[in-house]
Amino acid sequence: MTALLLLQIVSAPYSMPWQLRPTALATSVRVDSLVALYDTPAGTGETVPVLISASFRLTSRLGALVRIGAVDSEPPAGPAASVFANPIVGATYLVPLGDALRLCGFLGVALPLGMGGGNAPDAAALAAEKSAMTARSAMDNAMFAVNDFTLFPGVGLAWVKGGWTVQGEVTLLQLFRVRGEMAQKDSAKTNFTSGVHVGYFAVPWLSVGAELRYQRWLSTPAAVEADMTGTLRDTLSVAIGPRFHHKLGDGWIRPGIAYARGLRGTLDAQDYNIIQFDLPVSF
């Protein structure tokens, strides 16, 4: 019975989220980049984070993930910078709950190897990391907190049936400072992210997906405590766009493009316009 449920899950047309974690196990490579334009009193800025992920399907229920990232930032004032982000490793465990429901547990670790950290950080590099954190709708904070070792468990639940995908997830991020104690006041921080994705296959080769995402600091980091604008505590954003599906031998290529806007927080205050380009290839 379990084998049959897993086969049904694999064969169901699944709308892959834009920034939430997939609830399907596959051996794949994914290039996920975006262009974020924003406005400040000093002028217009541009941030381009690029994330590259490799996923490995170890068993019918267990998968592994490795992700690296780089950022190119051109702020409205100050020097431009190109930096590497913290790498991430993680594991996913899939639990089928009938022929339409799937539950996925996740445990990830971010290693504090990104640029812009330490007691004498390069100001432009650190600003680029912070800009990328916002540009990614504050959903990938662990990758850009370059002084912190981060442990982040999460869980996702998806309903996949009749061409529809409805998925939700929550993630708790616990950040521990391991370097830069002279430059960063916070020895530990606690962050929370969540989101809902709804997708529909109009035809077998085309799906449309919309996503609502929310992030909040559960602790009060020094930057949030000092913030007089009220924009740093939490972030709400929305994204929508089409994804194309083409079979490649035993695998799939699923390129997509989405537009995202902020509804709350810095994304809204600085009028962010974000275009995401996503290219997952499974084998």
Residue 2's pLDDT is: 42
Q: What is the pTM of this model?
A: 0.93
**pLDDT tens digits, residue range 67-94?**
999 999 999 999 999 999 999 999 999 9
Residue 4's pLDDT is: 37
Render the burial of 185-220: b for 16+ CB within 10 Å, e for the rest. ebeebebbbbbebbbbbeeeeebbbbbbbbbebeee
Q: Which residues pair with 44 in a beta bridge?
A: 39
Q: Which of these, 256, 250, 257, 254, lies nearest to 57 by C-alpha position?
A: 250
Residue 245 gets which letter from DSSP?
-
CA distance 58 to 53: 16
Q: Which CATH superfamily is domain 2-282 in?
A: monomeric porin ompg (2.40.160.40)
**pLDDT tens digits, residue range 105-164?**
999 999 999 999 999 999 999 999 999 999 999 999 999 999 999 999 999 999 999 999
Tokens of 38: 């924003």
DSSP class per residue in 8-52: HHHHS-----SSSPPSS---EEEEEEEEEEEEETTEEEEEEEEEE
* 3-state class (DSSP) for residue 149: strand
Residue 29 CA: distances (Å) to CA of 54, 104, 234, 253, 254: 5, 19, 31, 10, 11
Give the type of residue at 279.
L
CA distance 176 to 219: 12
**pLDDT tens digits, residue range 234-281?**
999 999 999 999 999 989 999 999 999 999 999 999 999 999 999 999
Tokens of 279: 């290219």
Domain extents in the chain? 2-282
**pLDDT tens digits, residue range 38-61?**
999 999 999 999 999 999 999 999
**pLDDT tens digits, residue range 199-231?**
999 999 999 999 999 999 999 999 999 999 999
Position 1 confidence tier, pLDDT thresholds 50, 70, 90: very low
**pLDDT tens digits, residue range 6-43?**
434 445 699 999 999 999 999 999 999 999 999 999 99
Percent of the chain scored above 70 by pLDDT?
A: 96
Residue 180 gets which letter from DSSP?
-
Residue 11's pLDDT is: 53
Residue 61 gets which letter from DSSP?
S
Residue 36's pLDDT is: 98
Residue 112's pLDDT is: 98
Residue 9's pLDDT is: 43
